[in-house]
Amino acid sequence: MLKAVLRGLAAASLTVLPLTVSAPAHAAETLPLSEAVAGLPLGTESRDGYDRDAFRHWNAGANPSDGCNTRAEVLISEAVEPPAVGPSCRLTGGSWWSYYDQVWVTSASGLDIDHMVPLAESWDSGASAWTAQRREAYANDQGAATSLVAVTARSNRSKADQDPAQWLPPAAEVHCRYAAEWVATKLRWSLTADEAEVATLREVAAGCPDQTVTYEPVA
């Protein structure tokens, strides 16, 4: 009788249960701005072959069932006073704070959605080697609040595709925040930076001892 029980226990111990293995999580990191700048990979930029159409945007957004594209979803998310959302995701009312130039905006049509690191700059910095799917994900990235920013059309078009060595927001008091969000986006997407860009970011960081950078790398 004892031998039979032992045999049963041995058989049970050999039973293999299904095992689900999760992919390792990419944990968010927070660093002082100066350290985050030091962590940017240096690279030589090239715009050869760039085509804005290589980055599909705006797509159906983070919630395809809501009828709003990425642009509209960002506007809704960043509104200080929420707009009314009508048929076909038409936005009316609402208010937004354009932090680049410290301006209140009360019409969605007066806003652009800025790619913190412009599409052309991302191409220069590594996106030229990406798949079309990864470029689309980048162009519509709502996984980080700093990737896409609702700002006045005037400030966005003044920035165009320039990096911090060439353009910083007209409101000097937001330079620390802007540099942190720029660096966070480059680290999130493993994009390189050139020497002039890094030099400017170091200079900004020197005046921002309390500024931190938080980013979550994209797989």
Q: Give the pLDDT band (50/70/90) at residue 21.
A: very low
- Every domain of the chain and the residues it spans: 25-215
pLDDT, one tens digit per residue, over 141-163 is 999 999 999 999 999 999 999 99
Residue 210 tokens, joined: 């309390």
Interaxial angle between packed helices 175-188 and 195-206, expressed in degrees from 0 to 180 and rounded to the nearest 10: 130
- The pLDDT of 79-88, averaged and rounded, is 97
Would you say the pTM of this structure is higher than 0.85?
Answer: yes
pLDDT of 126 higher than 50: yes
d(CA 12, CA 28): 41
What sign has the CA pseudo-torsion 33, 134, 66, 85? positive
